[in-house]
Structure 1
Amino acid sequence: MSENSTQGPHSTVGLAATTGHPEAAPPRSHAAPDAGTSLALLILRLGVGAAALQAGLIKAFDFSATTGFMAQGGWRLPTFAAFMVTASETLGGIGMLVGALTPLAACSVLGAMLCAWAVNVSGAAFWSAPFNVPFLIGIGAAALLFAGAGAYSVDGRALTRLTWSLRVSAGLLALAFVVAILTWVALYGVNPIHFTAPPGAAAQ
C-alpha cells in the first residue's frame, strides 16, 4: 500500500503531493481584538461616552434653559435645535458607554461635536483655540466609529453577528459631517471659520 493511499482519498496532503499544487489556505475570519486592545477601547468608550452623556443630560434636565440659550445665541428653531443636540449627545453617549451599535452612536456624537466645535471657534480667530473639548470628544468618537467597541461591550457579546465594514464606517463618518454642516447652515447660518477675530469679538 502506498503512502498516499494510507492518507485516504480525501487527504489534502496526499492531493497536494500527487498534483503538485500547494494546499489552499482556509478563508480568513475577522480576528477578535485581543484583551489589551479591548481594554483600551473600553477606556476610550467610557471617557468619550461619559462626556457626551453628561453634556446631553445637562441639556435634558433643563431643556427650557437649553432652548433659551440657543435662541439667545441666534439659532433658528431653537427648540428643534436643542432637541437634536440633546438627543444626539444623550443617546450617542449611552450607546458608547455600553458599546451598543457603537459606530452609529459615535456618528451621532461626532455630528453633535462638530456643531459644538463650530460654536466654540466662531467667536474668535479659528486658529486661536481649535483643539477645544468638542474637538477632542469628536476625535475620540471618530476613532470608535472605525475601531468598534471591542470585546467588553454589547456589540462584542450580544451583537457579534452585526459587522461594520470599512465602507460603512466611512459612510457614517461622511454622514456625521453632512448632517452637521446642513444643520449648521439651516439653523445657524453663520460662517464659523475666521482667520482673524470677527468684528465685535473683542467686545464680547
Structure 2
Amino acid sequence: MTEKPKDTSAPIAEGTASPTGEQSAVSSSTGRGVTSPYDLPTGEMPRLHSDTAPRGPELSKDVPRTDEELGLDPEIPSVGEQARANDPTYAYASIPPAPGAGGPGEPSRPLRRRNGDARRGTLDLGLFVLRLVVGGTFIYHGLQKLTGWFNGSGLDGTRDMMAGGGWDHATLSTILVIAGEVGGGGLLVLGLATPLAAGAVLAVILDAWMWKQGMIPGFQYKSGVKSGVELESILAGTAVVLLLTGPGRLSFDRNRGWATRPAFGSFAVLILAIAAAIGTWYWLHGGNPLTGIGPFN
C-alpha cells in the first residue's frame, strides 16, 4: 500500500503573512478567511490599534454620542419657536391657522357651519318674503303720493292732504313721508342698510298711526274706517321685527353682522326711530294722538 502524502501545509496563523506576502486573517472557530471586519465572530468592527498592540475587536475608546462629547453647542430655540411652544394654538399644527372671517378671535365661516351656527333652515327665505311684502307696501304708498300711480293723489294732492290734516310746513312733511316710504321700502326689498331702512319706515308709519289715531277720540283700531289704524299697526310691527332680526342672508347685507345676528346697534336704531317719530309729530303737527284712550283725555 502506498501511503498518502502528508499535507505539509500548516494553517496560517491568525494575523500572519501568507506566502504571497499578503496579510490574512482566519477565524479560530470556522477556519475560513475573514474578508470583512463585519465577518468576525463577535460581529464587532475592529478599531484602530498600533502594530505592537494585540489584534482583535477591542475598542481603544468610546464612540462619542452626544453634542457635548462631539464638542457642539446645544441647540437653542429662537424667540419665535419659544412663542409658538407656549401658544396652545400651535400644539398640534406647524402652520398657524388662518384668522376667522369675523375678525381676530372669531371662528371662520366653515368652522361656524360645522358647529351648527349656519343651520338656519328656511329662516332666510322667510325674512326675504317678509321684506318683499313690507317694503313693497311702502313703495306702493310712496309712489301713490309721488307720481299719482295706483289711483294716488300725486305730489300736489299729498301736500294739500297734509295741510288739511293739520300738518305745519306741508311741503316739508310731504318730502319726509315720500322719502321714508319710497327710499326705506326700496332698501328693505334689497336688504341694503337694513337697520336704517327699517328705522325710516318705522318712523313714517308711527307718524301715520298717531295722525289717524288722533282724528277721533278713543282707540281707533278697526279697519274700514277713515281713522282705523289696523294696517299701520301691522306695518309698524313688521318693521320692528326686521329691525331686530336682520334681513337674513338673502340680502345685500348678508356679510354684515346685523344681517343674521343684530345686537345693541339695531336696538339703538329702534329707540332712535321712535324718538324721531315723536319729535316729528310734535314739531310738524302737535297735539296728543292718544286723546280719549284710557287716562289720556
TM-score calculated relative to the size of structure 1: 0.77
What residue identity is the alignment partner of 1:149? P
Asked if the contact 1:32/1:151 (under 8 Å) is kept, the reply is no
Asked if the contact 2:212/2:229 (under 8 Å) is kept, the reply is no
Asked if residue 170 in structure 1 is aligned to residue 267 in structure 2, the reply is yes
Q: Which residue pairs with 1:19 in the alignment?
A: none
Asked if the contact 1:33/1:150 (under 8 Å) is kept, the reply is no
CA shift for structure 1 position 50: 0.7
Q: Which has the higher helix share?
A: 1
Asked if residue 152 in structure 1 is aligned to residue 250 in structure 2, the reply is yes
1:87-102 matched pairs, under 5 angstroms? 87-102=179-194
Mark the CA change 1:79 to 1:131 in structure 2 (over 3 Å): closer, same or farther. Answer: closer
CA distance in 2, matches of 1:189, 1:33: 48
What residue identity is the alignment partner of 2:242? L
Mark the CA change 1:28 to 1:131 in structure 2 (over 3 Å): closer, same or farther. Answer: farther
Task: Write out per-residue CA displacement over residues 31-78 of structure 1, whole angstroms, 9 at most, x where no aligned residue.
Answer: 456240001101110111011111111111111111111011111000
TM-score calculated relative to the size of structure 2: 0.54
Aligned-partner SS, 1:127: coil
CA shift for structure 1 position 126: 3.9
Asked if the contact 1:88/1:108 (under 8 Å) is kept, the reply is yes
CA shift for structure 1 position 28: 5.2
Aligned-partner SS, 2:219: helix
Q: Which residue pairs with 2:3 in the alignment?
A: none
Higher relative contact order (CA 8 A, sep 6+): 1
Q: Which residue pairs with 2:219 in the alignment?
A: 127
Asked if the contact 2:213/2:229 (under 8 Å) is kept, the reply is no
What residue identity is the alignment partner of 1:58? Q
CA distance in 2, matches of 1:124, 1:28: 56
The runs of 5 or more residues in structure 2 that have no matched partner are: 1-89, 94-104, 148-153, 222-227
Q: Which residue pairs with 2:276 in the alignment?
A: 179
CA distance in 2, matches of 1:41, 1:76: 37
Give the length in aligned residue pairs.
172
| Coordinate RMSD, CA, aligned | 2.2
2:132 to 46, 50, 57: 46
State the structure with more CA Rg: 2
Q: Which residue pairs with 1:21 in the alignment?
A: none
CA distance in 1, matches of 2:162, 2:270: 26
1:8-23 matched pairs, under 5 angstroms? 10-11=91-92
Asked if residue 56 in structure 1 is aligned to residue 122 in structure 2, the reply is no
CA distance in 2, matches of 1:173, 1:49: 17
